[in-house]
Structure 1
Amino acid sequence: MPFKFNLIYTALFAGSLSFGAYADTTEYAGENKDFSATAVESLAQIDVNADYLQQIGYHALGTSSVSKVDVPIIDTPTTVNVVTTKLLEDRKPRDLVDALASVSGVSQANTLGGIFDAVQKRGFGGNRDNSIMRNGMQAGPSHNFGATTETVEVLKGPASVLYGIQDPGGIINVISKKPQQEAKHSISASLGNNNMWGTQLDSTGGLGEGFAYRFIYDKQEKDYWRNFGKIQTTTYAPSLSWQNERTQVLLAYEHLDYSQPFDRGTQLVNGQVVDIPASRRLDEPNNQTKGKTDNIQVKLEHKLNDQWKLNFAYAYARDKYNYRQTRVVAVNTSHSDNLSYKSGNTSRTLAPRTALRRLEKQAADQRLHSASLNLVGEFSLGDIANRFIIGADASRNYRTTGPVYNNGGWSSINIDNPVYTSPDAKETVAANNWQINNIKTLGLYIQDTAYLTERLIVTGGLRYEYFDQVAGRHAIGKNFVPNTDQHDGKLLYQFGSVYKFSPNWATYANYAESFRPQYSIANKVDAGLAPEQGKSVEIGTKYESENINATLALFNINKRNVAETDSNGDVYIAGKQRSRGLEVDINGYLTRDLSLSATYTYTKVKNIANDAYPAAIGKQLIGVPEHQAALFLSYELGHFLHGDWRLGAGARYLGSWNAYTSNYKTAYKIPDAVIYDAFLAYDTKIGGQKLSLQLNGKNLSDKVYYQSTSGNADSYIVPISLGYGREVFLNAKVEF
């Protein structure tokens, strides 16, 4: 579908829904009625311009914490999306990428066999890209979505002025459940196919003298949907808060133990997925990852007076894991001819219908310390009201990978009748045994939002970021000699404006910048090599009311100083990339009983210059669909059989995307897919306590679909990640 046609069609569609929402708002606000049992007690209390986030079903309005300043979403000249608590409860996503299916402009990147939260935003980003936040603080790269998650916020476009080193696509902020003064307790249990079972405890309440606590325990287990593997997770999350009229303090800790298959998916050979059942793996049953994450956060907010408050935060995140894999490096899909394989000093001949594998083991430990101090306030200069922030933040992100075992242990397996042996990796590549990446940052930033008139709002911000980065590798017993050793600084700025046609409807425009220093563990990086830089222009319109919000955005991002590696192993500036697109997000109530979450995305992201690989110029970046869409509806069926019933269903459209062999020699088109989900919920009371039953079905048609590449491509195969198979499960929760 041509881009121009998409633009016109989507704008008309969003406009018609906004008009309908306005009509509904007038009717329901006048009658002061709830839209559902989860809505606020009175819509008359809803304030689009509130300085806190309000949730009404799938609809969120007011102020999002991802913007750091107490500026309502409708007054910000950027796209901010919120996945509400209710939408998460209804959809029951299994991970962060699944949770973001109801947000435009995001897609999965390489998850390293399922370990990482790897998300592309507007075509940019990947694993370990610093874009995942927990409660506004930089998080580790792995398993950030789970039982403690309350909402997920997404800030689109370059965010370096507020968050430092970033790719230009945006950031994702996972908001955790906090202690509450009102006592609330729940016990949950779940059962499903693939031998799924789970249990959860969530308890919160006041302790007196301003103290409150929360404790969450969650344990989940199931068989992997493919022909072997098991997923096990256990979470412990205590937190404590204290507050008085001026000060709030929060101390939170979360620990996760996990064990899961290390699965790079299936293989693309000569443009075709290997012709075996999607459930059949060509690696080994001992391809397993075991790991743990720890997250500590300390937050302090102190009101200096009615206009100013001081915020301090410290976060520690650790992700430690080890995995074993029998990595598929070539597949001969022919029924009659042999295949010659050669890589470095390794040569093999593959018989027909055979896969060649190589053993690999790896351990890693990443520790991240970050701290932030800022002053937020409101003041007037004449008739101009200002919402202002000035702050500083610092971080130390230290990652070690090793020991690494990835040489020897070559084996083959028949792809039609595999015989698994669970071999172990023994040999070591000395030059690649230990890998290190250590980066320290210090940033100073300032931003002001000025209300020039009742309708015109202007926002501007500046940041200076200093970084010190060392990366490289060495063998056991050898001295570490870095391949990357840089320290430098960068000044960045952003500017935007909002014009409000009414308190509910605004149009906006912004310009923003991002940067990311170059680094390489394996190859030499010149200390003076310029960092990657992103520059973005975005225009859009927003509509917010008591029952619905809608955003339409058009963006253009240019990314320069994209680096490649030359034949000598040196990193150099080689290219430029550009992302252009359109996004639509609509969330809320269409009628009293019918709610929806709807998105559409068009993203055209491509190489516009590449000195290393001219064949890449003009090609869509790997793993980014041009078209994506999602629609999820829920309906209040009413009260019968002694309880309240709700029904919901939805579909996601994942458009086709490109995969490439090494050096962009060959491009393959990965097919599109539609995935269907549904749920049925029943709420009642037994013995005065609330009982909730919910039956969920995910990927109901058991569609085979592909989400991203899952490793480095070469001339023989391209590994691609498979989407999860059909799941059906029942959850029961008692609240007291």
Structure 2
Amino acid sequence: MSRRHSAFRILIPTCLACCTQMALAQEAAQAASATAQTDTSAKTLDSVEVRDERKPYRNLSVTGATKTDALVKDLPQSIQILDAGLLRDAGVTNLAGALDLSATISRQSNLGGLWDSYSIRGFAGHPDYGSDYMVNGFNSSRGYNGVRDGANTNSVEVLKGPSSALYGRGEPGGTVNISTKKPMFLPANSFELGLGSFDTYRAAVDSTGPLGETVAYRINAAYQSGHSFRDTVKYDRTLIAPSFLWMISPDTTLSYEIEVVEQNAPFDRGVVAVNGKLGVVPISNFYGEPNDGQHETKSTGHQVFLQHYFNDDWSIQTGFSYRESSLKGVSTEVRPYGALQPGDILRRRYRDRDNEATDLSGRFELIGKVATGAITHNLLIGVDGYQFDNHRRQNAADPAGTTYGIDLWNPVYGAPKPAWRPTTQTDENQESYALYAQDQVELSEHWKALVGVRYDEYRQTVHDLLNNAVVKQSLNATSPRVGLVYQPNEQWSLYATSATSFRPNSGISRDLQGFDPEEGKSYELGAKWDTGRLNSTLAIYKIIKENVLTPDPLDPNNYNMAIGEMESQGVELDVAGQLAPGLRMMASYAYTDAHITQDNAALTGLSLVGRQMANVPKQAANVVLFKDLTLGGRKLSIGGGPQYVGEREGAAAAFSQIDFFTLPSYVIWNAMASYEASENLQLSLNAKNLLDKEHYVSSYSLYWVMPGSERSFMLTARYKF
């Protein structure tokens, strides 16, 4: 039996290979109560070391950056991995909570709380959709997918800088890749029940094991419901995620994963900055109408992935992803501009949304190793494509019609509903096909390089039914990246990299024209340091992006326009690992200067040049510390730390000087504790915003400002059997 087959047979009973992982070691390291750690890929692994200690947040390999199992220290890119141990210790239950641990990422306006929206290095993406993220290397954010629950999340990879050379369309600031939990042949089961502030209830199930000698299953499910510190606001979310692994042969595996999501939540735009000042009205004030009911979000996704090894050096991986999603509901919203009227009455607008989308994508990749003398080439050659269909239907009250008002200080609900009319009826189709290649070159013991290039063909058709107009455009883009790594010794890696990015802009302009795609260029220098207990990355970068969309000043509710150009430059430091036996740490700091460098002042009459991008703080930091102790012969872990977010521009779009305002900086403290009451039962207590600091996490305008939660607690019991 070859070394590859031997390692494969050792690891398969422990875990399932991730769709994007060529190695199985990372999942083994985090599965059940065993920790398997390795510095090499699974196909060349001689043995697996199993320990019962907690993993100290120090991750040696990453899959999303190269679509292969690559050592972080060998890559000319800043990468932050938020693994299962860190997420569990920090009490994270959704994607937004996970990304709060990275100072590089800042929250953005999230469509009334209905989806995840964030920026990386200051770049936030399309203003009318949730932020891009991948699940197992497939784009899973196109459409209407709600707030992503973390019940089936194994790790979150924050891949900083452009990844267009591999993944195509995307933001130059970075990419988020979520690795899901995988089936294991070793049976493991757990059940969680949580009770928390604001009548919050959460239940989660994680069950895995064999269905035969060659088939394994895993099912993750979660249900969460609760109220809010916001008046009249309540929600519920459900996730059901079964997955299966078929070990066809020692060289071939086939996996199938399903995600079924349903979310019911009101449309909540937050509070108002009165004359540009926050804290004037209570953060609990809700300015919608409770009798509008909930917005219903549904999403069903499928992923199929096949891996086959021809020999120790060559393999293929191929698969597809299909997702259906919808967003439907009625909302009453304060108008985003000029809403405050005499007598302290807020003008509102009545809307009805009925949106549906389907997203089909697939890829085929050949992976191999070629040695040319002393130089080794680790090659990846692939093709992929996707088809995205988006149907948007919206009715709304006429902007020039009734005020449909509500009192700023004392909201009273039940106002008569105004008449509405169709405002948006579009059918959009996007198709993209691409060819890409990548070479991880081992030049010598001390030098490594990464080069890659991708060519995309993109077609877009938008049918505006209200105007009986059809807009078509065809685009293409070539996205190269090149990077060099110098490793003077085992501890240090110094790197430099440059890459480009592109992102097709969805929708059409007010004059019924398509948009040019966003285009970005990135330059980065960095240093990585690994002591064996701690690893850290220091990076400095500069990114320029053109053709960024912003609301059209003549019809901001329905159309966008290109703002011109923006630039981001900054410094980041990430540290993770073990400070001492039983003392774990994750720390992140980012200085981000993301501002507008060109605008459309000739059309708007207002220059935005020099303005910081909305919701992006110049400085942000996050620290999490955990200490393991012994109490009554059982393990007790206590920890916590601060999250700091600096001042930010509050207006995502502005048409006069009075639209500008500032979101104040804040520091909130979080605390966590867990106790192993028995071999099977673990009790955890998480406190968010321990000092009950009033703060504001994101905004879109003076009239759409989302406050952060008041102090809250969550007590969770986890039983393993």
Q: Same fold (TM over 0.5)?
A: yes
Other-structure match for 2:8: none
1:520 corresponds to 2:507: yes
Other-structure match for 1:223: 227
What is the SS of the residue equivalent to 2:615? coil
Judged with a 3 Å threshold, the aligned counterparts in structure 2 of structure 1 residues 185 and 87 are, in CA distance, closer, same or farther, namely same
1:596 partner letter = M
Other-structure match for 1:14: none
Q: Tell me which of 303, 308, 317 is aligned to 1:302.
A: 308
What is the SS of the residue equivalent to 2:60? strand
Q: Tell me which of 679, 692, 704 is aligned to 2:694.
A: 704
Q: CA deviation at 1:405?
A: 3.0
Q: Tell me which of 530, 535, 545 is aligned to 1:549.
A: 535
RMSD over aligned CA atoms reads 2.7
Q: Tell me which of 135, 147, 150 is aligned to 2:151.
A: 147
Other-structure match for 2:7: none
1:534 corresponds to 2:520: yes
CA shift digits 1:196-253 (9 cap, x unpaired): 1122221100122311001122111111221112111122111110113101111011
2:472 partner letter = D
What is the SS of the residue equivalent to 1:88? helix
The answer for unaligned runs of 5 or more in structure 1 is: 1-34, 332-340, 343-348
CA shift digits 1:642-661 (9 cap, x unpaired): 42111011110011101236
CA shift digits 1:363-396 (9 cap, x unpaired): 2112111101111112211110111100011001
Q: CA deviation at 1:675?
A: 1.2
Range moving further from structure 2, 537-546 or 397-406: 397-406
> CA separation in 2, counterparts of 1:279 and 1:485?
45
Judged with a 3 Å threshold, the aligned counterparts in structure 2 of structure 1 residues 372 and 510 are, in CA distance, closer, same or farther, namely same
Other-structure match for 2:72: 73
1:415 corresponds to 2:403: no
Judged with a 3 Å threshold, the aligned counterparts in structure 2 of structure 1 residues 48 and 587 are, in CA distance, closer, same or farther, namely farther
Q: CA deviation at 1:330?
A: 7.5
Q: CA deviation at 1:473?
A: 2.8
The answer for unaligned runs of 5 or more in structure 2 is: 1-28
Q: CA deviation at 1:641?
A: 2.4
Q: CA deviation at 1:519?
A: 4.2
> CA separation in 1, counterparts of 2:412 and 2:88?
41
2:713 partner letter = V
Q: CA deviation at 1:165?
A: 1.1
Is the contact between residue 272 and residue 281 of structure 2 (CA under 8 Å) also seen in structure 1?
no
Other-structure match for 1:327: 333
Q: CA deviation at 1:195?
A: 1.1
What is the SS of the residue equivalent to 1:276? coil
Other-structure match for 2:671: 678
1:87 partner letter = L
Q: Tell me which of 248, 251, 258 is aligned to 2:256.
A: 251
Q: CA deviation at 1:131?
A: 2.5
Judged with a 3 Å threshold, the aligned counterparts in structure 2 of structure 1 residues 556 and 129 are, in CA distance, closer, same or farther, namely farther
Is the contact between residue 553 and residue 655 of structure 2 (CA under 8 Å) also seen in structure 1?
no
1:590 partner letter = L
Is the contact between residue 600 and residue 607 of structure 2 (CA under 8 Å) also seen in structure 1?
no
Q: CA deviation at 1:669?
A: 1.8
Judged with a 3 Å threshold, the aligned counterparts in structure 2 of structure 1 residues 364 and 572 are, in CA distance, closer, same or farther, namely closer
What is the SS of the residue equivalent to 1:268? coil
Judged with a 3 Å threshold, the aligned counterparts in structure 2 of structure 1 residues 644 and 274 are, in CA distance, closer, same or farther, namely closer
> CA separation in 1, counterparts of 2:31 and 2:638?
14
TM-score by length of 1: 0.86
Judged with a 3 Å threshold, the aligned counterparts in structure 2 of structure 1 residues 524 and 313 are, in CA distance, closer, same or farther, namely farther
Q: Tell me which of 540, 552, 564 is aligned to 1:575.
A: 564
Judged with a 3 Å threshold, the aligned counterparts in structure 2 of structure 1 residues 571 and 329 are, in CA distance, closer, same or farther, namely closer
Other-structure match for 2:469: 481
What is the SS of the residue equivalent to 2:211? strand
> CA separation in 2, counterparts of 1:39 and 1:552?
32
Judged with a 3 Å threshold, the aligned counterparts in structure 2 of structure 1 residues 150 and 426 are, in CA distance, closer, same or farther, namely farther
Q: CA deviation at 1:126?
A: 3.6
Range moving further from structure 2, 284-293 or 560-569: 560-569
Other-structure match for 2:82: 83
Other-structure match for 2:375: 384
Is the contact between residue 50 and residue 63 of structure 1 (CA under 8 Å) also seen in structure 2?
no
What is the SS of the residue equivalent to 1:616? coil
Other-structure match for 1:353: 344
Judged with a 3 Å threshold, the aligned counterparts in structure 2 of structure 1 residues 634 and 664 are, in CA distance, closer, same or farther, namely farther
Is the contact between residue 335 and residue 703 of structure 2 (CA under 8 Å) also seen in structure 1?
no
Other-structure match for 1:337: none
2:436 partner letter = Y
Is the contact between residue 404 and residue 418 of structure 2 (CA under 8 Å) also seen in structure 1?
no
Q: CA deviation at 1:517?
A: 2.8
What is the SS of the residue equivalent to 2:86? helix
Other-structure match for 1:119: 118
Is the contact between residue 563 and residue 599 of structure 2 (CA under 8 Å) also seen in structure 1?
yes
1:583 partner letter = E
CA shift digits 1:8-59 (9 cap, x unpaired): xxxxxxxxxxxxxxxxxxxxxxxxxxx99999668xx542777899992322
Is the contact between residue 61 and residue 544 of structure 1 (CA under 8 Å) also seen in structure 2?
no
Judged with a 3 Å threshold, the aligned counterparts in structure 2 of structure 1 residues 422 and 692 are, in CA distance, closer, same or farther, namely farther
Other-structure match for 2:319: 313
Other-structure match for 1:558: 544
1:655 corresponds to 2:661: no
Is the contact between residue 509 and residue 560 of structure 2 (CA under 8 Å) also seen in structure 1?
no
1:729 corresponds to 2:714: yes
Q: CA deviation at 1:572?
A: 7.3
Q: Tell me which of 609, 634, 643 is aligned to 1:617.
A: 609
> CA separation in 2, counterparts of 1:449 and 1:36?
27
1:303 partner letter = Y
Other-structure match for 1:275: 280
What is the SS of the residue equivalent to 1:158? coil
Equivalenced residues, count: 669
Alignment of 1:494-505 (within 5 A): 494-505=481-492
1:224 partner letter = S
> CA separation in 2, counterparts of 1:181 and 1:695?
31
1:462 corresponds to 2:453: yes
Q: Tell me which of 164, 188, 197 is aligned to 2:201.
A: 197
> CA separation in 1, counterparts of 2:202 and 2:169?
38
> CA separation in 2, counterparts of 1:566 and 1:427?
21
Is the contact between residue 380 and residue 439 of structure 2 (CA under 8 Å) also seen in structure 1?
yes
What is the SS of the residue equivalent to 2:650? strand
> CA separation in 2, counterparts of 1:647 and 1:564?
44
Q: Tell me which of 664, 686, 695 is aligned to 2:685.
A: 695
**Percent identity over the alignment?**
30
CA shift digits 1:689-725 (9 cap, x unpaired): 5100001111112222122224xx4xxx442222222
Judged with a 3 Å threshold, the aligned counterparts in structure 2 of structure 1 residues 465 and 41 are, in CA distance, closer, same or farther, namely closer
2:657 partner letter = K
1:135 corresponds to 2:136: yes
Is the contact between residue 518 and residue 525 of structure 1 (CA under 8 Å) also seen in structure 2?
no
Is the contact between residue 330 and residue 356 of structure 1 (CA under 8 Å) also seen in structure 2?
no
1:365 corresponds to 2:356: yes
Is the contact between residue 116 and residue 130 of structure 2 (CA under 8 Å) also seen in structure 1?
no
Q: CA deviation at 1:560?
A: 2.4
> CA separation in 2, counterparts of 1:200 and 1:564?
39
What is the SS of the residue equivalent to 1:630? strand
1:427 corresponds to 2:420: yes
Is the contact between residue 519 and residue 547 of structure 2 (CA under 8 Å) also seen in structure 1?
yes
Judged with a 3 Å threshold, the aligned counterparts in structure 2 of structure 1 residues 252 and 279 are, in CA distance, closer, same or farther, namely same
Q: Tell me which of 610, 619, 628 is aligned to 2:620.
A: 628
CA shift digits 1:659-690 (9 cap, x unpaired): 236236343221001111111100132xxx51
Q: CA deviation at 1:93?
A: 2.4
Other-structure match for 2:17: none
Is the contact between residue 463 and residue 492 of structure 1 (CA under 8 Å) also seen in structure 2?
yes
What is the SS of the residue equivalent to 2:284? coil
Judged with a 3 Å threshold, the aligned counterparts in structure 2 of structure 1 residues 264 and 129 are, in CA distance, closer, same or farther, namely closer
1:590 corresponds to 2:589: no
Q: CA deviation at 1:305?
A: 1.1
Other-structure match for 2:56: 57
Other-structure match for 1:8: none
Is the contact between residue 227 and residue 281 of structure 1 (CA under 8 Å) also seen in structure 2?
yes
